[in-house]
Amino acid sequence: MKKLYILGTRGLPAKHGGFETFCEKLSLYLVAQGWTVIVYCQEDGAGAITEGEWKGVNLINIPIEKNGAAGTVLFDWKATKHALGQKGLFLTLGYNTAVFNVLQRVKGQVNVINMDGIEWKRDKWGGIAKAWFWLNERAGCWIGNHLVADHPKIKDHLATRVKDSKITMIPYGGDRVNEADPTALADYGLEPHGFSVVIARPEPENSFLQVVKAFSSKRRNHKLVVLGNFTPEKNEYHKRVMDAAGEEVIFPGAIYEAAVVRALRFFSRFYIHGHQVGGTNPSLVEALGAGCSVIAHNNHFNRWVAGDAAVYFDDEHDCAKLFEKYLRDDHSHLIAAMKAESTRRFNEKFTWENILSQYEKLLIQWYPKEYSK
């Protein structure tokens, strides 16, 4: 029986973000295919490492007392040290502490690394953090036995570091959403198709300020729902975004109820995707899976994912023109065409069945021969 150890996430069940969701999907898929899957999980607190089980997936629980980035680094260090005593194939999701994985390479363990996005280019990080991510991206490229890129442009970027043959491109996946509960909108005073939605971390690189200013430049007879954990009393950028918002903009905070988020996507007029950097963004894939029409920032990452399912803006002025054009009722046929293209594109490229089968094929290819008997 093939055995896979997964490092680099907070663990299962998924609670924190895209990599955790992917880890959950892949783990359950591989267990159903007969694999033994072991996932390293970060727990709050102190004490000894323990083992557990969740839906047939084996868990190695590592308690960490520190919070934030320091806690994550410590968890990755302890997980890597523990993994040195295991036998099988290893999959590391993310390269943020790839320097630790050199221990696995020295020991002769086979480690496939999903290289995620170009983290060191993100505006939210200071100089020290950017240097750390840059160093670890380089380390991951050299140390990993094989690399996974989630977007063709990420693969092109990594190919400036290592040979193209060392990289396999497999994008992120998502669930198809064919229906949602419209009553989930009631608490927010929303009606189906009477609003558009932004779902992202409220950071400058995600174009929040441009989108909110563009929408608020005139009355729209439409609502813009901006999800995210805004703390204007602590964060100057958050304050600027909220100060720029007109009365038709709603800030409900971060929403974690899956049924509500599903309804917000499914019943929106537009899903607004302002991400300027990164690879195949999970939120954009999920929007395609919900059949959303999309207004997206104009860059090669978003264009490869959304294609003709989206219209694109370069700046605040462009975004305002798109709102002016596409929020008019006489353009409903264009929106319907975009929604149909979202569904077609999603079914062609981004279903979980398609993505996870590609991962299993790659993992079988790299499974150590000495353990495959």
Q: Is 351 helix (H, G, I), strand (E, B) or coil?
A: strand
Residues ≥6 apart with Cβ < 8 Å to 150: 114, 116, 117, 169, 170, 171, 172, 279, 280
Tell me the H-state helices in the chain.
18-32, 68-83, 102-107, 127-143, 152-158, 208-215, 236-244, 258-266, 282-289, 300-306, 316-326, 332-349, 352-366
Q: pLDDT category, 16, cuts 50, 70, 90?
A: low
Residue 261 has pLDDT above 70, yes or no: yes
Residues of the chain within CATH 3.40.50.2000 domain(s) are: 3-173+352-371, 182-349
Lowest-pLDDT choice from 91-95, 118-122, 200-204? 118-122
Q: pLDDT category, 340, cuts 50, 70, 90?
A: very high
Report the CATH superfamily, name and number, of domain 182-349. Answer: Glycogen Phosphorylase B; (3.40.50.2000)
Q: Model confidence over 169-194: pLDDT tens digits?
A: 999 999 999 999 999 999 999 999 99
Q: pLDDT category, 373, cuts 50, 70, 90?
A: low
Q: Which long-range contacts (CB under 8 A, 24 or more apart) does 296-300 make?
A: 296/272, 297/207, 297/273, 300/153
Residue 77 has pLDDT above 70, yes or no: yes
Q: Model confidence over 215-226: pLDDT tens digits?
A: 999 999 999 999
Domain 3-173+352-371 has CATH 3.90.1150.10: no
Residue 67 has pLDDT above 90, yes or no: no
Q: Is 331 exposed, middle or buried, given 0-12, 13-18 or 19+ CB atoms closer than 10 A?
A: exposed
Q: What are phi and psi of 181, to 5 degrees?
A: -90, 110
